[in-house]
Amino acid sequence: MVKVRPLDDRVVIEVLEAEEKTAGGILLPDAAREKPQKGKVTAVGIGKATKTGDRLAMALKVNDIVMFGKYAGSDVKVDGKEVKIMRESEILLRLSGSES
């Protein structure tokens, strides 16, 4: 697991692999696979600061499984591992069953 501490309302996401098969069972070559849009939250920031200096609570927690836009966030390498860093607002949804 990557040991980082994102700032403010940012989250670190370990991107899950794209599907290798279609629903009908057809194997997809690498070139035909969709860019992954699903990942596991590995770290969360302390929340966005308001104008008064208070912090807004983060809705996401470590180990939540989330979906995000194809081009959301920034791809970075931390300790040799590829992760995405994005603001919590860029995340589209948390998949049910991933709440702690």
Quote the pLDDT of residue 70: 86
Q: Does domain 1-16+35-100 have CATH number 3.40.50.170?
A: no
Quote the pLDDT of residue 16: 84
Measured over the CA atoms of residue 20, residue 25, residue 29 and residue 31, the dihedral's sign is negative
The pTM score is: 0.76
Cβ neighbour number for residue 85 with a 10 Å cutoff: 19
Quote the pLDDT of residue 81: 85
Q: What is the pLDDT along the chain (100 residues), one digit of tens a residue?
A: 547 888 999 999 998 876 566 566 666 665 655 666 889 999 999 999 889 989 999 999 999 999 998 889 999 988 888 899 999 999 999 986 655 4
